[in-house]
Amino acid sequence: MIQSPKYKKCLTDKDKAFLFDYLTQSFQHYFNMHSYFVKLKGNFQWVKKT
C-alpha cells in the first residue's frame, strides 16, 4: 500500500510515524490481551484442579 506512488505523495513521514505507532500499539494491545487470557486460562485450570 505505502509502496505505490499514488500513496507515496499522500503519506508524509509524520503519517508514516503515526501509522507505525498505531500498528505498534495495536500489536502491544493484542499481545497484552493474549497474555491476559493465557493467564486467565491458567488460573481457571488451576482452580479446576484443586
d(CA 42, CA 5): 48
pLDDT for position 20: 92
pLDDT for position 24: 94
Burial class (CB in 10 A: 0-12, 13-18, 19+), 11: middle
Which domain range does residue 17 map to? Answer: 5-49
Domain tally, the chain = 1
Distance from first CA to last CA of the chain, Å, rounded?
Answer: 52
Q: What is the mean pLDDT of each run of 10 residues along the chain (50 residues)?
A: 59 88 92 89 72
**Whole-structure pTM value:** 0.47
